[in-house]
């Protein structure tokens, strides 16, 4: 998209988690969608560039989040704890934080949110399963449970108030797959950006759950329930197969990190401490 400032579709987009791995990538890429990108995180985000506003705050601070939401048209909610952690930490950032986002969205009459959910909302499906977004959640830990909370919360705000959300159950979005499992779960940065673009600009999304994944061989996730978004992955993990040649290091078939889609997350969480 090549638009001049006055032609940009939105006045202001809010990106939470702007200091994080994906936030740093998206910061540049979403500029073409709005005159102003408001960036927020609890961590330092550096200096504001042209067309940027920077607000450093804790998502668990309700008043701060309400202030953050003033004048916002659409929210990309990527902030929070992004791996398994103790419940209190998850509760603070992901549960209280996401609740604060939706309360502020409601009060400020924001029409649409894109919520960075995770494949760990369904991590207890088996790697032999092929699932779609209508199948029940099966979280693999406190982190996955917090993503299920975000999905349910956003469903409620849609049913009660008509606030639209696309929940993207992101697979593994990194520069390249770093484990064999990621050959199945990989989401390239370009495909993530395209899925976000589709989620932000589709005329009607209601409450949609979609899997954020590239066109990888042997995918576990069927995106037909989100076909209305119009997302077509262009990349594939196939080009990285050579990084993981067959070797004795690969977990055997009776290893829970191979049996379940959540992979290594099955070894984390309270029951293993």
Interaction site with ligand NAI (CB under 6 A): 17, 19-23, 41-43, 58-60, 78-82, 93, 97, 116, 118, 170, 172-174
Of 102, 124, 125, 143, the active-site residue reads 143
* Residues in region 90-119 near ligand 15L by CB under 6 A: 118-119
Check if 125 is active-site.
no
Work out which of 17, 34, 69, 82 binds ligand 15L, going by CB under 6 A: 82
- Residue 185 interacting partner from ligand NAI, ligand 15L, none (CB closer than 5 to 8 Å by kind): ligand 15L
Distances (CA, A) of 154 to 13, 163, 197: 18, 8, 19
- Residue 177 interacting partner from ligand 15L, ligand NAI, none (CB closer than 5 to 8 Å by kind): none
Please, which residue, 110 or 254, has the CB nearer to ligand NAI? 110
Q: Does residue 63 interact with ligand 15L by CB under 6 A?
A: no
CB of 82 to ligand NAI, least distance (A): 3
DSSP code per residue over 2-48: ---GGG-SEEEEEEESTTSHHHHHHHHHTGGGEEEEEEEESS-----
Please, which residue, 97 or 163, has the CB nearer to ligand NAI? 97
Backbone angles phi, psi at 229, to 5 degrees: -75, -25
Q: Does residue 70 interact with ligand 15L by CB under 6 A?
A: no
Q: What length does the chain have?
A: 273
Own/partner pairs, 18-21, CB within 8 angstroms, 24+ separation: 18/45, 18/54, 18/78, 18/79, 19/43, 19/44, 19/45, 20/78, 20/79, 20/82, 21/82, 21/173, 21/174
Structure tokens of 7? Answer: 């032609």
Please, which residue, 118 or 216, has the CB nearer to ligand 15L? 118
124 SS3 class: coil
Please, which residue, 119 or 229, has the CB nearer to ligand NAI? 119
Where on the chain is the footprint of ligand 15L (CB under 6 A)?
82-83, 118-120, 172, 182, 185
């Amino acid at each position: 998209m090549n638009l001049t400032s006055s032609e940009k579709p939105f006045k202001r987009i809010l990106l939470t988690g702007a200091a994080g791995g994906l936030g740093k990538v998206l910061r540049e890429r979403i500029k073409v969608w709005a005159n102003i990108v408001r960036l927020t995180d609890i961590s330092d985000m550096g200096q504001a560039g042209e067309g940027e506003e920077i607000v450093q705050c804790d998502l668990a601070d309700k008043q701060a989040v309400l202030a953050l939401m003033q004048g916002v048209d659409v929210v990309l909610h990527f902030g929070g704890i992004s791996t398994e952690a103790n419940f209190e930490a998850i509760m603070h950032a992901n549960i209280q934080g996401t609740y604060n986002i939706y309360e502020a969205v409601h009060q400020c009459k924001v029409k649409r949110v894109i919520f960075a959910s995770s494949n760990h909302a369904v991590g207890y499906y088996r790697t032999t399963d092929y699932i779609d977004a209508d199948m029940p959640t099966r979280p693999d830990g406190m982190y996955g449970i917090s993503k299920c909370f975000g999905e349910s919360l956003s469903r409620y705000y849609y049913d009660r108030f008509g606030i639209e959300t696309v929940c993207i159950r992101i697979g593994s979005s990194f520069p390249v797959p770093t484990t064999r499992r990621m050959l199945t779960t990989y989401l390239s940065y370009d495909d993530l950006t395209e899925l976000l673009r589709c989620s932000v600009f589709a005329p009607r999304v209601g409450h949609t759950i979609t899997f954020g994944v590239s066109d990888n061989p042997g995918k576990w996730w069927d995106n037909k329930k989100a076909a209305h978004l119009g997302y077509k992955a262009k990349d594939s993990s196939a080009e990285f197969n050579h990084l993981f040649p067959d070797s004795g290091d690969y977990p055997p078939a009776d290893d829970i990190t191979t049996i379940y889609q959540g992979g290594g997350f099955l070894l984390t969480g309270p029951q293993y401490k």
